[in-house]
Amino acid sequence: MKKYILILAVLLLLPGLLSAETFAKTGTAGLQFLKLGIDARAIGMAEAYTAVTNDISSVYWNPAGLALNPHNQILFSHTEYVANIRHEFFAISQKSSIGTFAFFASALHMDWMDVYIEDSFDNPTGEQFTCYDLAGGLTYANSFTDKFAFGFTAKYLREKLDEYAVDGMSVDLGSLYNTGWRNVTIGMSLRNFGPNMKFELDNDDDGEFDEDPFDLLDNDGDGLIDEDREEVDFKIPMNFSLGVSADIYRVDDNNFLIGSVQLDNCVDRKETYNLGFEYTMGTFKIRSGYQFEYDAAGYSGGFGWKIPTSFAIISIDYAYTDFGDLAENFIKTPHRLSIKLFY
């Protein structure tokens, strides 16, 4: 009975949380780095991964999947993105008698850039600036039966643009239900659910924020009236994913093909659809997939290899994503490399 109550609660709760945003509003959400998928295995399957995830990468895709793996795990993921932008992700998990816990940290960073005089792109001032995004959090997951798992994540978020910074919080929720027939699994996740964020600027250093430009007051006595106008708050990219995965072909645990389909509903874009496949041949895996209704990303592919050692099972995965005109060539298109340790 508890299993069905939990499933029903998730089914009722998650869509309701998104009902306030009927139409996608492109460009209205900040912290876009939260949309950058991690783990080359997931990317190789074109991110059709909500119902597939069953290891440490679940801290990003669907926290419920963290409960399905019997090992303690470590994950390192690196992405060479377009325009010399890089994305790093680290996670570590620990099994316990009451469930599985994990910690993760994520960073998007880029090279230093020149500062130019306003309205001029050929006259640098000699100064430089950079930007970065950070996220970190804790995940808890547990299997309530042999078919149903649930998990959640609490996250701290930070974005810094030159000298300006903003901090916030969000949570992720996820569930997985295995029907028991041909390994058909239904996965749902709600990522980046949290309050709006807002930069607070005090350019005139008078200790006041969001000053009223119409009260005609010179708060800091510099002869100028209310230099700091109210900043507009912005959403974070909350996303609801519904996925289904199943065995398409299986001989045994060393020779099988799985397929996965997924629907994503994000607050700042139209609905997107993902289709992914993974074929396992012993310790080697090959993956392929396609993302539909995306402006840039389309085809993805990749491969992985598991290496048993005396101290851990090491999984090395690579993925390639076709970004079309956003990438100059094959070398400068996004490449992902991830390493997992199961011990």
First to last CA, the chain: 34
Measured CA to CA, the distance from residue 206 to residue 252 in angstroms comes to 70
Instruction: Give the whole-angstrom CA distance, residue 40 versus residue 38.
Output: 7
Report pLDDT digits (tens) over 226-279.
556 667 789 999 999 999 999 999 999 999 999 999 999 999 888 999 999 999
Alpha-carbon Rg for the chain, nearest whole angstrom, is 22
DSSP string over 302-332: EEEEEEE-SS-EEEEEEEEE--GGGSSSSTT
Burial grade of 222 (CB within 10 A; 0-12, 13-18, 19 or more): exposed
* Architecture of the domain spanning 2-198+233-342: Beta Barrel (2.40)
Q: What is the C-alpha separation between 136 and 33, in angstroms, rounded?
A: 13
Q: How many of the other CB atoms lie within 10 Å of CB of 211?
A: 19
Of 32, 92, 47, 35, the closest CA to residue 319 belongs to 47
Q: Where are the domains of the chain?
A: 2-198+233-342
Alpha carbon of 62 to those of 111, 187, 265: distances in Å? 31, 8, 15
Which amino acid does the sequence have at 221?
A: G
Q: Give residue 220's pLDDT.
A: 60
Name the E strands within the chain.
Answer: 73-80, 85-96, 99-110, 113-116, 124-129, 131-143, 148-161, 164-178, 185-193, 239-252, 255-266, 272-281, 284-292, 299-308, 313-321, 335-342
| Residue located via tokens 């396992």 | 280
Assess contact for 128 and 53: CB atoms under 8 A: no
What is each CA distance from 2 to 65, 147, 252, in whole angstroms? 19, 12, 32
Both structure tokens of 60: 């990003």
Q: Which residues of the chain fall short of a pLDDT of 50?
A: 1, 4-5, 7-9, 11-12, 15-22
CA distance 169 to 239: 15
Query: Taking Cα atoms as reference points, which of 331, 16, 306, 34 lies closest to residue 157?
Result: 34
126 three-class SS: strand
Tokens at 185, concatenated:
């699994």
Task: Name which of 114, 85, 235 is nearest 166 in CA terms.
Answer: 235
